[in-house]
Chains A and B, each alone.
Chain A
Amino acid sequence: MNLPIFHDVSLEALDARQPAFFRFRQLPMAPDKVVLSNLEGRWLVLDKADFQTFARGEVEEGSELFTKLRQRNFLRAYYDVPAAAEMIRARREFVGAGPNLHIMVITLRCNTTCVYCHASRANMDQVQTDMTKEIAEQSVDFILQSTNPAVTIEFQGGEPLVRFDLLQHVVEYAHEKNEVAQKELDFTLVTNLSLMDEKKLDWLIENRVQICTSIDGPQDVHDKQRKLPKASAHGEAIKWMKRIDERYREMGLDETLYHVEALVTTTRPILDRWKELVDLYVDLGCRALFLRPLDPFGWAEKTARLIEYPRAEYIEYYRNAVDYMIELNKQGVEILERYAAIFLTKILSGVDPNFLDIRQPSGAGIGQLAYSYDGTIFTCDEGRMLHESGDDTFAIGHVGTSKYRDVVGHETVRAVVVAGQLEGQADCVNCPYVPYCGIPPVHSHRIQGSLLGRMRESSLCQVHKGIQDYLFEKLATGDEETLQILEKWTTIRPRDHFVHVPAGAE
Chain B
Amino acid sequence: MTESLDAIPDTFVSVDRAEGAVSFVVDESVYPLDAIYGATFTFLDRCFVFLGRGEPGQVVITLSAKKPPVEDDELRGWIGELANELLACAWRGRILEQNRATIEAVTMQAIGGAMGPPSLDELEDFDFSEEPFDDPLGIAMSWEEKYGKKEKKGESADDSGEENA
Contact = CB atoms under 8 A, between A and B. Distances in A.
Interface in A439-492: 448-450, 452, 454, 456-457
Contacts of B41: 450
B42 A366 contact: no
Contact of A426 (B45, B88, B102, B122): B88
Given A426-B88, A454-B84, A454-B85, A408 B103 contact: no
Nearest to B94: A426
A95 interface: yes
B145 to A, nearest CB: 31
A366 B102 CA distance: 17
A41 B107 CA distance: 20
B137 interface: no
B111 A409 contact: yes
Given A92-B106, A423-B99, A423-B103, A147 B116 contact: yes
Contact of B118 (A95, A405, A449, A456): A405
Contacts of A425: 92, 95
Contacts of A404: 115
Interface stretch (A4-12, A198-206, A231-239, A413-421): A413-421
Interface stretch (A96-104, A110-118, A134-142, A323-331): A96-104
B2 interface: no
A65 B82 CA distance: 45
Interface in B43-73: 43, 45
Contact of A96 (B87, B88, B91, B113): B113
Nearest to A408: B114
B122 A405 contact: yes
Contacts of B85: 450, 454
B42 A413 contact: no
B110 A405 contact: no
B95 A366 contact: no
Given A425-B95, A448-B42, A98 B114 contact: yes
Given A421-B106, A457-B84, A147 B114 contact: yes
8 contacts: A96-B109, A365-B114, A405-B118, A409-B111, A418-B107, A452-B88, A452-B92, A454-B85
B98 to A, nearest CB: 9
Given A96-B114, A452-B92, 12 more contacts: A146-B114, A147-B116, A366-B110, A366-B111, A403-B122, A409-B114, A413-B111, A414-B111, A421-B107, A424-B103, A426-B87, A450-B42
B112 interface: yes
Contact of B107 (A147, A417, A454): A417
A405 B115 contact: yes
A365 B88 CA distance: 25
Nearest to B41: A450
Contacts of B84: 454, 456-457
B115 A454 contact: no
A429 interface: yes
A361 B115 contact: no
A492 B57 CA distance: 58
Contact of A423 (B102, B110, B111, B118): B102
A160 B88 CA distance: 42
A96 B87 CA distance: 33
Contacts of B102: 421, 423
Contacts of A413: 111, 114
B8 interface: no
